[in-house]
Amino acid sequence: MNNQKDIRRNQSSIFHTILIVCSLIVFSCSDDSGSEEQIDQYLISSKKVANYDAILLQLGASQEGLSSIASQLKYDISVYEIEYKTTYLGSDITASGLIGIPDTEEEVSILSFQHGTIAANSDAPTQSSEGQFYASFASLGYISLIPDFIGFGSSADILHPYYHEESTAQAVIDMIRAAKQFILANGINSDDRLFLAGYSEGGYATMVAHKAIEDKYADEFDLVASAPASGGYDLIGMKDYMVSLDTYSQPFYLAYLTAAYAEINDWKTLVSEVFNEPYASAIPDLFDGTKSGSQINAALTTDISALLTADFISNSTSSKYQILTDELSSNSPIDWQPNRPVYMYHGTTDITVPFINSESAYDELIKNGASEDKISFTALEGVDHGSGIAPYVIHFTAVFADL
């Protein structure tokens, strides 16, 4: 299995060279660097944080073996950091994210890309130069949006609500709303068409945002399509998979989910009912935003029988844990029928988020009445959770270009 460090290294490798080369030309612009007063209902402030040159983006992509992507990177881009209003558990909060703007007067669409699992605030898109590589999608001819997610950036004082459908979807949707206000305020030429994509937790975030838009905001957004990849959509299936293993290389995923659900629902005993000591007592402090996933993994154990209580391993489907089962079920976006196209992807050798999880989610959506013309599932042959990001990006960008 890949460890978390390997996964993040592979996910970042697509544009790693781009970032090295472009760091020579990244700069904060003095004219725009100061935060502005509240602009509109969602957008609070914006500031330019970087410029990337298209030629150097092409060079970086080519050096990473992504010539098919390099040939499409045709625009210089400017990257802005924004703060915006959203809600979390019924309260108004300030969240943040990045916007990449292509240097063109042509009419362009919007692509919101949701990042994968992070635990350290320093890894958030607005906090890390490495995170800015997602904004490079703007060079393809999109206004690219990269939300930090609640719990990072401007909302770092909150424990990230990991795999929590309502707050995840709301953070993405309000970021899009704020971006549309930024676009209007700055006279950017957009056709207002919206695309969604994301990998790992970002795949989940993409799925729940798509679902929320169709359920609640279909008249507000011109959603063209989404491309969620390698997400843990069936959370009960993910839990059953983890407890069936002898070892699991990413124990912090399960700890993250449990800590987040305990915080959201004020379940004082949940962590101690699921995890053995000394891990149960340590888990709350591990997710304070200062530690990376690999550091949290190092503080836990990959041995499932040592990590989890024997009762939870044997009886996780019993009535004793019904409240957790209900929470996992209610946050699994597999009980709806998409009407706008969904292009799902997953690596066939992924054992971090198992391939079968996406397969079963796809089957459930079809059972719910989704047309096979509206939803597709692409198996990324021979790649795991870390190595799947590159073929995914190559494939979904080509599909979106055709649309």
Q: CB-based contacts of 244: which residues, under 8 Å, 6+ apart?
A: none
Chain centroid, CA 20 distance in Å: 23
Percent pLDDT > 70 in the chain is 89
Give me the pLDDT at residue 129, please: 75
Give me the pLDDT at residue 4, please: 47
Count of C-beta atoms within a 10 Å radius of residue 21: 19
Is the pLDDT score of 232 beyond 60?
A: yes
Is the pLDDT score of 30 beyond 70?
A: no
In the chain, the number of structural domains is 2
- Are residues 229 and 239 located together in one domain of the fold? no
Q: What is the CATH number of the domain that holds 259?
A: 1.10.260.160
Lowest mean pLDDT among 5-19, 42-56, 131-145: 5-19
- Are residues 154 and 269 located together in one domain of the fold? no
Is the pLDDT score of 10 beyond 80?
A: no
Q: What is the CATH number of the domain that holds 147?
A: 3.40.50.1820
Residue with the bigger pLDDT between 104 and 5: it is: 104
Give me the pLDDT at residue 5, please: 46
Q: pLDDT per residue over 278-328, tens digit each? A: 999 999 999 999 999 999 999 999 999 999 999 999 999 999 999 999 999
Give me the pLDDT at residue 34, please: 40
- Are residues 247 and 365 located together in one domain of the fold? no
- Are residues 162 and 216 located together in one domain of the fold? yes
Is the pLDDT score of 2 beyond 80?
A: no
Q: Give CA–CA dist 149/131, Å, rounded.
A: 13
44-56 average pLDDT score: 93
Is the pLDDT score of 26 beyond 70?
A: no
Residue 131 — pLDDT band, cuts 50, 70, 90?
Answer: low
Per the prediction, the chain carries an average pLDDT of 90
Give me the pLDDT at residue 132, please: 65
- Are residues 206 and 264 located together in one domain of the fold? no
Q: pLDDT per residue over 76-129, tens digit each? A: 999 999 999 999 999 999 999 999 999 999 999 999 999 999 999 999 999 997
- Point out the domain boundary residue: 330, 348, 364: 330
- Are residues 257 and 316 located together in one domain of the fold? yes
**Which sign, positive or negative, has the C-alpha torsion 88, 94, 98, 100?**
positive
Residue 59 — pLDDT band, cuts 50, 70, 90?
Answer: confident
Is the pLDDT score of 60 beyond 90?
A: no
Q: Give CA–CA dist 5/379, Å, rounded.
A: 24
Is the pLDDT score of 33 beyond 70?
A: no
- Are residues 36 and 173 located together in one domain of the fold? yes
Q: Give CA–CA dist 137/100, Å, rounded.
A: 8
Which residue's entry shows tokens 């625009």? 75
- Are residues 126 and 31 located together in one domain of the fold? yes
Is the pLDDT score of 65 beyond 70?
A: no
Residue 201 — pLDDT band, cuts 50, 70, 90?
Answer: very high
Residue 32 vs residues 45, 80, 81: alpha-carbon distances, Å: 11, 9, 10
Percent pLDDT > 90 in the chain is 83
Question: Using H for helix, E for strand and C for coil, what is the string for the chain?
Answer: CCCHHHHHHHHHHHHHHHHHHHCCCCCCCCCCCCCCCCCCCCEEEEEEEEEECHHHHHHHHHHCCCHHHHCCCCCCEEEEEEEEEEEECCEEEEEEEEEEEECCCCCEEEEEEECCCCCCHHHCCCCCCHHHHHHHHHHHCEEEEEECCCCCHHHCCCCCCCCCHHHHHHHHHHHHHHHHHHHHHCCCCEEEEEEEEEECHHHHHHHHHHHHHHHHCCCCCEEEEEEEECCCCCHHHHHHHHHHCCECCCHHHHHHHHHHHHHHHCCCCHHHHHECCCHHHHHHHHCCCCCCHHHHHHHCCCEHHHHECHHHHHHCCCHHHHHHHHHHHHCCCCCCCCCCCEEEEEECCCCCCCHHHHHHHHHHHHHCCCCCCCEEEEEECCCCCCCCHHHHHHHHHHHHHHC
Q: pLDDT per residue over 360-369, tens digit each? A: 999 999 999 9
- Are residues 243 and 119 located together in one domain of the fold? no
Lowest mean pLDDT among 13-17, 37-41, 151-155, 390-394: 13-17
Is the pLDDT score of 160 beyond 90?
A: yes
Lowest mean pLDDT among 47-56, 158-167, 198-207: 47-56
Domain coverage including residue 317 = 235-330
Count of C-beta atoms within a 10 Å radius of residue 273: 17
- Point out the domain boundary residue: 278, 308, 330: 330
- Point out the domain boundary residue: 269, 303, 330: 330
Give me the pLDDT at residue 130, please: 66
243-256 average pLDDT score: 97
- Are residues 57 and 131 located together in one domain of the fold? yes
- Are residues 313 and 355 located together in one domain of the fold? no
161-180 average pLDDT score: 98
- Are residues 239 and 227 located together in one domain of the fold? no
